[in-house]
Chains A and B, each alone.
Chain A
Amino acid sequence: MRTSDLLRSALRNVRRSRLRTTLTVLALVVGASTLSLTTALGAGVSDYVTRQVDALGADDVLVVTAGSAQTGDGPVTYNPTRSTAAGGGAGLPGAGAAASLTDESVAALQRLSGLRDVRPVRSVALDYVQAGSSPRFELSLSPTGAVAQADLAAGRQLDAAGVADGIVLPQDHVAPLGFAGDAQAVGSEVTLAFTDLTGTQRQVPATVVGVSRSGLLSSGAAVGADFLDSLASQQDAGVGSPGRYPAATARFDPATADVAALKEEVGALGLQAQTIEDQLGVVTTVIAGITGILNAFAVVSLVAAAFGIVNTLLMSVQERTREIGLMKALGMAPRRIFALFSLEAGLIGLLGSVIGVALAAAAGTVISAALVAGPLSGLPGLTLLLFRPQAVVLVVVLIVVIAFLAGTLPARRAARQDPITALRYE
């Protein structure tokens, strides 16, 4: 039998018992759409997180916090380089809420040869920001804004701007401050106001060098390290360094440095060093875990659907005993009979997976758009469900393979059938 004839025959047989095929296909559709939705969710979220990390571009930055030294049971021994006195607002993921860095620990970090540009993170509490005579708006300065790369909507990064008093404004402040657009805001001057320790309100001019999209990591405005230090000193009003910091940032040479070794050295000081990616790693691990569980559910439903295929085809073999017997009597090779039933299984798999994937893509796109426009609108650039062509093809291939495997049992039974038993008339 020619392959084209086998295919036609398989197609016709699949269509023959319509109700049974439909039910089997439905089971596959459920599995296929679940699997595509969960993989799309995983892909969408991890793509978003990856782009956030890439946008930060800070692969040479370590964030050092007074890490928890509590690795075993029992009380923690006193360590003079750590302090558990109430620290300033931590504001960083991973930063201990209670522990903070001291001047000694910053000095110790500076002595480490692998690290350069060690700076304690100093937070400056702004009262408001104003552009010309615009209304005044509250604005927070991101403590690590100086080391991170902003996800720019317009303008340039702080270190590329060559301006000492540069500021990257968050996008949501652009229109309220009276700028016509993101690009128009770049180059303008804004006024930053804060109250120092003596209770006097001070105003400092800053130049907008860029406009950033808000994201998972970046919140608020960013200014250069030196500018931030000067603002912090002014806020201290000459009282001097507070001596306690929520964290410190340091740079290393990603080409030569061994990050793990650096982390260990920092760890030896009783502190904890994390790259920006580490801080996101927790998020990614959680996402991977959740999508993994969802995928497992989808695969279980596919296995159930595979039993449906076995059942459908076994019934079909039973019903077509005579037909199979006749074909064998007329010289059809058992291998071709096997191929015929395997093809039927594969076709059922193809039908179910294509319909399932198409349904998932259609429904998923609508749901994703609605969520991103609604509850998740705070995360611009997020595609909650990302249907990658490779992933979609992979789901279809996986299901067709599962269907084929499920079809081998009935196909073998058909191929081994004895023609004369089938053709005997009693």
Chain B
Amino acid sequence: MLTAMDEPTAVLEARHVHRWYGTGSARFHALDDVSLQVRAGESLAVVGKSGSGKSTLMHLLALLDSPDEGDLLVDGVATGDLPARQVQRLRNERFGFVFQQFFLNPAESVLENVVLPLTIAGVPAPARRERGMAVLERFGLADKARNRAIDLSGGQKQRAALSRALVGRPSVVFADEPTGNLDSATGAQVEEELFALNAEGITLVVVTHDEELAARCGRRVSVQDGRLSGGAAA
């Protein structure tokens, strides 16, 4: 990306964000006064122990969840007051998701699974097919386009999920434990793909407790009992 790296813009920002789960005595402070900026084009690793609040933070940054206190901004615009429709549009057009689980629909073909964000956006079928085939080509799955998603191997499934995250040409890709369910060889392959995307200018937010994966990111923050520590460049 050629935009000035010396004056980075925060594509995502969390300001004094709190998130509680449960009510009464079971009330649990999952995120405690978290402030964080994600700059356009960077790769950020969110690390921490299991249960520390990494996924909760990622869901908030991705506008899948809303904070109990604090603000979340996209391109400097607070999202709390945006109409639901616009938040849905933001997620659909700007964000891509890769989960630890692949969440492929077993009843649909690989291609249909991959173009789901476009289908949701209302893109006409021919354009969907064209763009879907292009990403599948890139991830070496073009010959599997007509197969049912259930017939793919683990690595192929995660590549299909990556294709789905990419097909809408998002500016930010969120990956929650993307290699957690894969053997180390396939994990390494997915890792390569993720950083290839980042090299093309896509902002990357990776939740992981895989040290090696975190080390490859430009920056890391670590979450501990719902609080942010660190944030220095790697």
Contact = CB atoms under 8 A, between A and B. Distances in A.
B89 interface: yes
Contact of B88 (A5, A332, A420, A423): A332
Contacts of B84: 333-334
B180 to A, nearest CB: 9
Contact of A420 (B65, B92, B121): B65
B59 A330 contact: no
B26 interface: no
Interface string B119-133: 111101100000000
Interface in B50-105: 55, 59, 62, 64-65, 84-85, 88-93, 97, 99-101, 103, 105
B120 A327 contact: yes
Contacts, number: 62
B116 interface: yes
Contacts of A1: 119-120, 122
Contact of B91 (A5, A323, A331, A425): A331
A363 interface: no
A330 B117 contact: yes
Given A331-B89, A332-B88, A326 B121 contact: no
B99 A425 contact: yes
Interface residues of A, number: 23
B132 to A, nearest CB: 14
A229 B92 CA distance: 93
25 contacts: A2-B119, A2-B122, A2-B124, A5-B125, A12-B107, A12-B108, A322-B101, A325-B103, A326-B116, A327-B116, A329-B62, A329-B97, A330-B117, A331-B90, A331-B93, A331-B117, A331-B120, A331-B121, A332-B88, A333-B84, A336-B120, A420-B64, A423-B64, A423-B103, A425-B99
Given A5-B125, A423-B103, 15 more contacts: A1-B120, A2-B119, A2-B122, A5-B119, A16-B107, A326-B103, A327-B116, A329-B91, A330-B120, A332-B92, A333-B88, A420-B65, A423-B64, A424-B55, A425-B101
Interface of A: 1-2, 5, 12-13, 16, 322-323, 325-327, 329-334, 336, 419-420, 423-425
